[in-house]
Amino acid sequence: MFDRVLLRFGEYMVKGKNRGRFESQMLRHVQSALQSFERLTVTRTYGRIYVALNGESYDAVADRLKDLFGIASFSPVKRVETELDAIREGTIEVMGLFPDAERTFKVSVRRVWKGFPHDSQEMNHLVGSHVLRATPKLKVDVRRPDVELRVEIHPKDTYIYSEVVPGGGGFPYGTNGKAVLLLSGGIDSPVAGWSAMRKGLELEAIHFYSYPFTSEQAKDKVVELAKRLSRFAGRPLKLHLVHFTDIQTSFAQAKQDRLIITLMRRAMLRIAERIALREGALAIVTGDSLGQVASQTLSSMNVIGRTVDLPLLRPLVMMDKQEIIGLAERIGTYETSILPYEDCCTLFVPQSPTTNPNLRVAETVESHIPGLEEMIEKAVSGMETLKLTPDDTGAGLTGAGKNEWF
């Protein structure tokens, strides 16, 4: 029944100066997200994008558009000849989506082509009365209708639509610069990554593992999460795997149990910052949420965050766990995140980690760990990088030699 899809841009369109750039970038994103549909044509007119379906399935296209960042909402559109009877019939078909519901509606006709014999007001009545006769359960409410039936009259074609489906929101992927994401196997960090991507940040993920203390499944889980995130990117996502065992072991040997998580987080950030600078990224994104665990008290965040100069972005910092879980379910990472495989940090979690670490003490302990700087350098130079797409098998490994872990 639908002939095309109307796409509305997101919040970034208020940015006057950058508007043109965002619009063309968005057009490219839509084209690449929908490239597997061969018959589609995508066009841009001032402030909007139209996708002509040319026989492709609307549902399949809609499924893809729901995840696409930079699209505020979209509507499936029916095209009819610009002729009164055809328009009236078309509106019945579109309203037929709500046959039995007791709903309120309103008609909004826009006469883009002023040559059409009836003006917008007349058309609102002509269409509205016709719809009411055909669907008696509907009622008119011009102030707060459940359904707004829109009709746009052009010289040859008229477009009719009523449904408004939320798109991915935010900015087109990559239009706000690049960051690295600290991706653990937990619930939070994939959600943090998704939030950052939604704000237009291009991401590269970094995961720290502690083979042989952590297992093959723990890695598979993170690869799976990164693959899931790559779906939102619409292009391959890099996952850097950093071998963390030596550093962790040296911290364990320092006999500062209560401080060990603080030390590990600081080392992770140091490594992440080096990778970021190497990859041209300007921020580090984490899944921290205030007060969630000992390492996420304000005091811990302060001592941990001081390790690096790059901005630390914590999209979930003020969110409740339940809200985060809700998002994880929505973006399809939750089921993977709750698989039981151990993370490198949980293995070393002491009985009572400090919630109030002291910066000077942390720095002093670090300065007494032999070869810490070398180990950090080695971790960076020895990391391995996967380039992942949603349906990848995890192949395409690059980097300084495959280790036995794979």
Q: Which is nearer to Mg ion, 82 or 336 (CB)?
A: 336
**Smallest distance from the beta carbon of 186 to Mg ion, in angstroms?**
3
Q: Which residues of 172-198 are buried (b: 16+ CB within 10 A; e: fewer)?
A: bbbbbeebbbbbbbbbbbbbbbbbbbb
Tell the smallest beta-carbon distance from residue 209 to ligand ATP (Å): 7
Non-local CB neighbours of 366 within 8 Å, separated by 6+ positions: 263, 266, 372
Instruction: Kindly state whether residue 186 participates in binding ligand ATP, applying the rule CB under 6 A.
Output: yes
The Cα–Cα gap between 371 and 88 comes to 78
Nearer to ligand ATP, 273 or 343 (CB): 343
Beta-bridge partner residues of 202:
178
Tokens of 304: 């941990």
From CA 196, how far away is CA 204, in angstroms rounded?
11
CA distance 249 to 111: 72
Residue 97 marked ligand-binding: no
Per the structure block, which two tokens stand in for 109? 């006709």
Q: Is 287 annotated as a binding residue?
A: yes
Q: Counting contacts by CB under 6 A, is residue 319 touching ligand ATP?
A: no
User: Quick one: which of 188, 224, 273, 366 contacts ligand ATP (CB under 6 A)?
Assistant: 188
Contact call for residue 345 and ligand ATP (CB under 6 A):
yes
343 binds ligand ATP (CB under 6 A): yes
Q: Judged by CB under 6 A, which of 80, 182, 241, 313 binds ligand ATP? A: 182
Contact flag: residue 186 with Mg ion (CB under 5 A) = yes
Region 284-313 residues binding ligand ATP, contact defined as CB under 6 A: 286-288, 292-293, 295-296
- In the complex with ligand ATP, the residue whose CB is nearer, 82 or 300, is 300
Report whether 182 belongs to an annotated binding site: yes
* Piece in contact with Mg ion (CB under 5 A), picked from 72-80, 81-89, 97-105, 176-184: 176-184
Q: Per CB under 5 A, which region of 155-163, 165-173, 178-186, 228-236 contacts Mg ion?
A: 178-186
Sign of CA dihedral 391, 397, 399, 401: positive
DSSP 21-90: HHHHHHHHHHHHHTTT-TT-EEEEETTEEEEE-TT--HHHHHHHHTT-TTEEEEEEEEEEESSHHHHHHH
Q: Is 6 annotated as a binding residue?
A: no
Q: Under the criterion CB under 6 A, does residue 366 sit at the interface with ligand ATP?
A: no
- Using left for φ > 0, alpha for ψ between -120 and 50, and beta otherwise, residue 366 falls in alpha
160 binds ligand ATP (CB under 6 A): no
314 known member of a binding site: no
Site for ligand ATP in 247-276 (CB under 6 A): 268
Q: Is 298 annotated as a binding residue?
A: no
- Asked if 3 touches ligand ATP (CB under 6 A), the answer is no
Of 50 and 341, CB closest to ligand ATP = 341
Closest distance to ligand ATP from the beta carbon of 313 (Å): 10
Q: Under DSSP, is residue 340 helix (H, G, I), strand (E, B) or coil?
A: coil
**Is 312 known as a binding-site position?**
no
Concatenate the DSSP letters of all residues of 142-156 into one string: SSS-SEEEEEEE-SS
Token pair listed for 310: 């790059």
Helix (H, G, I), strand (E, B) or coil at 159: strand
Binding-site sequence positions for ATP:
182-183, 207-208, 265, 287, 296
For Mg ion, the binding residues (CB under 5 A) are: 184, 186
For ligand ATP, the binding residues (CB under 6 A) are: 182-184, 186-189, 206-208, 268, 286-288, 292-293, 295-296, 343-345
